[in-house]
Amino acid sequence: MATEKKNISEEKEAKKKEMILFLSSSEEKEHFLSKGNRKLLSDPLDDNNPITVQVLGICSALAITVQLEPAVVMAIAVVFVMAFSNIIVSMLRNLIPSRIRIIVQLVVVASLVALVDQVLKAYAYDVSKQLSVFIGLIITNCIVMGRLEAFALGNGVYKSFLDGIGNAAGYGLILIIVAFFRELLGSGKLFGFEVLGHKAATVADSTGLYALGYENNGLMLLSPMALIVVGLLIWVQRARNRKLIEEN
């Protein structure tokens, strides 16, 4: 009788420990900003960048890098969605049946985005108007699904959270760099401000660079230029960071 009780209490203790481990998310005891965890945040910015190295999320990079403002909005939105979807999937990782895991991930991402959209529509209508076109782009963004599949399904909650933020930031960084060049060279503006001077109907009326006969490059506004700029970025990154260059 006594041993039975002891067993039960031991079992309870073990369960408790399991719970704590589950919540604290890292299996080994680790400082919450240990070197490994910091790497989760910083790696995707350079060595393991989702766009230039993993080549994920190219599709949305084409669509919204014509100007800086939408690129920044998209970057912020993706940080939110990735952080939370990674947390949710990581929490459910031991419960998700492996055969339908992709569907489950999709449902988590899609309902999260739809939920946020509904709340914004009610309480922050102007923000939701800004985001309206991005909703679809976020759901279909391969980075979100890619990280859920590659990381959140096999790692603890806190690590997955960091991985989500890191990858979203790496994605946003490239987005903003590409948008910077496309807006500057394509329309002569940054965040909508005319940084290269004002372009009037005639050269004589123009100011700044335009007075010297400078013309905007309309090609920069078209989608193919986003790919070419990303290509150039990959080139620059690999020239600088030799370990990214593949053998043979």
Binding residues vs another protein (CB under 8 A): 63-67, 70, 94-100, 103-104, 107, 111, 114-115, 118-119, 121-123, 125, 132-134, 136, 183, 186-187, 201, 216, 218, 221-222
Query: For residues 5 and 99, which CB has a smaller minimum distance to another protein in the complex?
Result: 99
Residue 89 three-state SS: helix
Q: In the complex with another protein, which residue's Cβ is closer, 162 or 178?
A: 178
Distance of closest approach, residue 82 Cβ to another protein, in angstroms: 19
Secondary element (H or E) of residue 190: strand 189-190
Decide whether 74 or 79 has the Cβ nearer to another protein.
74
Supply 182's token pair.
Answer: 């496309």
Tokens of 70: 């939408």
Residue 183 CB, shortest distance to another protein, in Å, is 8
CB 4 → another protein: shortest distance, Å? 21
User: Min. distance of Cβ 162 from another protein in angstroms?
Assistant: 25
d(CA 120, CA 99): 34
Q: Which residue number, 40 or 225, has a Cβ lying nearer to another protein?
A: 225
Supply 67's token pair: 């100007």
In the complex with another protein, which residue's Cβ is closer, 125 or 235? Answer: 125
d(CA 9, CA 15): 10
On whether the CB atoms of residues 89 and 105 are closer than 8 A, the answer is yes
Unique residue bearing structure tokens 């350079």: 46
- Positive or negative: CA dihedral 61, 66, 68, 72: negative
Residue 194's DSSP bridge partners are 189
8 Å CB contact between 55 and 246: no
CB of 98 to another protein, least distance (A): 6
Give min distance, CB of 221 to another protein, in A.
4
Whichever of 34 and 111 has its CB closer to another protein, that residue is 111
**Residue with the two structure tokens 């890292």:** 26
Distance between CA 48 and CA 40 in Å, rounded?
10
- Longest Cα–Cα distance in the chain: 100
Which of 46/180 has CB closer to another protein?
180
In the complex, the smallest distance separating the C-beta of residue 121 from another protein, rounded to whole angstroms, is: 5
